[in-house]
Structure 1
């Protein structure tokens, strides 16, 4: 589909012979290209990012309100909220995750990376607050941007790490369970910490809290919800795994075709599908029991913040994978049993029986991989690897990379 999209010419006038799906793709590409042209034109004319106040006033931390009454403070906050100016296009694009707009502005005006809003927040502050990872990666990978922005604080003395603890109320993120949402926040905290200085971990904001303290306070309720969600799901998965193990265990003693009463050997022992049945049933039983152990381990975990980053989620994913394998192997064992007991020896009858028997296995595997594996990310990784290998062979290596004997032999 991507190849067709690239090959389509959006400026074609005659679309009468074009299929309706291609017409929709052509219309979409036409809109995208003209939108980018309009964006480039507007970016050249827009200089709103220059309206940035002095950093001396923006970075003045407001730690205390001594000497002021509560009514005076409230009046000041109301006046400040009424005096707020609308966000500039650069800040709006950062909030809504319009990576192409941000890239165009920074490419044409590199100095716009210093732009801050009325709260003293720069692009990285806002990208973290609104959980726009693409904008964050774009700015961090921009030349010299990380060194210029990573140590900055806003009007409330919040560093980039402090912003991980905060979250915009109107963030349109994917609907996730509390455990995965907490894991995403833990990964984001670690990701931001990698670009921050050591001093940022110890800085206090206007509420005298470090970034870690603020993160734990804001995510404590989510941690409690994630704990309840994990325990409830682990119990349900345990029941399913035990039922599968019970069925697989019982199938070992009631083999298809029965047993020979004289020696106790299975009647269909020499059949190739009987071997498939035996392996599939044994795999279903072993994976189901292993999944039970993983889920019981999850139920008895401590549920600390660090556990949600790797260990608990790894146990859950591994247990679910084993449970899915157990279900798939049980389906294979069922299909092999059905073919062994009903097969009539006729070609078309056997083909139909094979299709009907293994159809649930195919549907199950397709839906599982489609839901749990991001094929687009795998494609991007393979593409990046190919490009890296191509550049590796295209660019000549320095002389220090070659052995000493080879370097000396090349000398005249």
Structure 2
């Protein structure tokens, strides 16, 4: 009951007072790992998997012929996870499944239950509706972000040919070219154009991808993180370009007018960051975790200190 409810303190106290309780089997032939994994009790699983006794529990097979990996694929008691979007929810399920698989003996991974399914086959069957929801969300989000990125690119591209103050009639040079802020205006304009077009390319690559199960494990969250990063930077660069234009054209004589201008400039950036940062943070951490997992698996030496725990 404690493992099913996810009460780590009770599980710890029971195992401290009576360690033999870890071998308890319920009427369905399930041990404590079956129950904790089936009910997505991540903290209980983390508490139990490092115990020496857990090495024999991972070999347990219940009355339905299911290993603990089958229970990690089962969504009967799945209630949506802890991530905010369908794509991240599916990724969390992938990571959970792979964590359990890493604890399994290799020959148990291909074990077939009484319905004739391996754990991998069961995972795909049980997550098909979740995959459809994640595909729909990714397509809509990528299309919307691509539209915004194209609009930003159009604005900054137009600004490059309408220099603040106009051009000289003699040689066509910008009138305010010698002003220090004009260089800042140019740099921000180019940065906004480059980042917005890069964001478009990233989101188009997402739209043209197959969006299959494997894509949601690492590649799609990483690409979405890159797309959101470039889009946020393009919006920021566009507002800074607008600021430089205002300061070049309007000579602000008082501090309060300058402060008001700065506040108006950074208001859209602040609102954008306020509403989008939680989502961006989730995808950024997912991308960082995938990179660190790659380093841990492919570089020699002990890189366990790079591990980031899931919620």
Shorter-chain TM-score: which interval?
0.7 to 0.9
Mapped partners of 1:217, 1:337: distance in 2: 56
User: What's the counterpart of residue 217 of structure 1?
Assistant: 125
Tell me if the contact between 2:225 and 2:280 (Cα under 8 Å) persists in the aligned partners: no
Mapped partners of 2:148, 2:266: distance in 1: 22
2:194 is the alignment partner of 1:286: yes
Deviation at 1:366, TM superposition (A): 5.1
Mapped partners of 2:216, 2:122: distance in 1: 17
2:229 is the alignment partner of 1:321: yes
User: What's the counterpart of residue 118 of structure 1?
Assistant: 27
2:111 is the alignment partner of 1:207: no
Mapped partners of 1:264, 1:348: distance in 2: 35
Matching of residues 363-378 of structure 1 within 5 Å: 363-365=271-273, 367-373=275-281
Structure 1: gaps of 5 or more residues? 1-90, 382-412
Mapped partners of 2:182, 2:271: distance in 1: 23
Deviation at 1:367, TM superposition (A): 4.8
**1:258-298 deviations in whole A, cap 9, x for unaligned?**
22222222222233332222222111111111111111111
Task: Using structure 1 for the length normalisation, give the TM-score.
Answer: 0.64
Matching of residues 262-411 of structure 1 within 5 Å: 262-365=170-273, 367-373=275-281
Q: 1:350 to 1:226 in 2, by over 3 A?
A: closer
Structure 1 stretch displaced more, 260-269 or 325-334: 260-269
Q: 1:145 to 1:336 in 2, by over 3 A?
A: farther
Deviation at 1:162, TM superposition (A): 0.4
Structure 2: gaps of 5 or more residues? 290-311
Mapped partners of 2:218, 2:255: distance in 1: 51
Mapped partners of 2:244, 2:15: distance in 1: 61
Q: Aligned with 2:133: secondary structure? A: helix
2:10 is the alignment partner of 1:101: yes
**1:92-136 deviations in whole A, cap 9, x for unaligned?**
x22222222222222332222112322222222122212121111
**1:69-100 deviations in whole A, cap 9, x for unaligned?**
xxxxxxxxxxxxxxxxxxxxxx2x22222222
Deviation at 1:303, TM superposition (A): 2.2
Deviation at 1:364, TM superposition (A): 3.6
Q: CA RMSD in A?
A: 2.3
Deviation at 1:302, TM superposition (A): 1.7
Tell me if the contact between 2:38 and 2:77 (Cα under 8 Å) persists in the aligned partners: no
Tell me if the contact between 1:268 and 1:274 (Cα under 8 Å) persists in the aligned partners: yes
User: What's the counterpart of residue 38 of structure 1?
Assistant: none
Structure 1 stretch displaced more, 261-270 or 291-300: 261-270
Q: 1:364 to 1:232 in 2, by over 3 A?
A: closer
User: What's the counterpart of residue 163 of structure 2?
Assistant: 255
Matching of residues 145-164 of structure 1 within 5 Å: 145-164=53-72
Q: Aligned with 1:373: secondary structure? A: helix
Deviation at 1:313, TM superposition (A): 2.3
Mapped partners of 1:299, 1:287: distance in 2: 18
Matching of residues 169-184 of structure 1 within 5 Å: 169=77, 171=79, 173-174=81-82, 176-184=84-92
Mapped partners of 1:232, 1:368: distance in 2: 16
Mapped partners of 1:166, 1:311: distance in 2: 24
Tell me if the contact between 1:165 and 1:215 (Cα under 8 Å) persists in the aligned partners: yes
> Which structure has the larger Rg?
1
Q: 1:280 to 1:342 in 2, by over 3 A?
A: same
Tell me if the contact between 2:40 and 2:78 (Cα under 8 Å) persists in the aligned partners: no
Q: How many residues align?
A: 284
Tell me if the contact between 1:124 and 1:160 (Cα under 8 Å) persists in the aligned partners: yes
Tell me if the contact between 2:228 and 2:280 (Cα under 8 Å) persists in the aligned partners: no
Mapped partners of 2:243, 2:278: distance in 1: 23
Relative contact order, CA 8 A, sep 6+: which one is greater?
Answer: 2
